[in-house]
Amino acid sequence: MLLAALFIAWEAIPLKKLSNQEQPIRTLVVNNSMGVLISRTVAVIFRVAPLMEHRLLLAGTGASIVLIQSCFIQAISRMDASVVKPF
């Protein structure tokens, strides 16, 4: 549990600083790039090629996550990270 809180803080603090200095789209790209680098290290070991219907679901999930992240970046740039991050 403590490790999960550390990872959340590790993401929230640079994201808060970046969102105050950069445009939202650049913040979104940097945040997603960090996520890709972190997840790729584990995913490369366990990766299995998805079926076509699963690829469509993955694409839809990815699109909705980008929209949610853009809303989150707007919120974190306007409020304190301790207020926004629990949601």
Written as one string, the DSSP assignment of 20-38 is HHS-HHHHHHHHHHHHHHH
pLDDT one-digit tens code per residue, 51-65 = 999 999 999 998 998
Instruction: Supply 78's token pair.
Output: 């306007």
Domain boundaries along the sequence of the chain? 2-84
Helix (H) or strand (E) holding 73, with range, is helix 52-78
Average pLDDT over residues 74-87: 72
Smallest CA-to-CA distance from 82 within 8, 26, 32 is with 8
Q: Residue 81: which pLDDT band, with cuts at 50, 70 and 90?
A: low
Res 70 pLDDT > 60: yes
Task: Kindly report the pTM of this predicted structure.
Answer: 0.61
pLDDT one-digit tens code per residue, 5-45 = 787 777 777 777 877 788 888 888 888 888 888 888 888 88
Greater confidence (46 vs 1) lies with 46
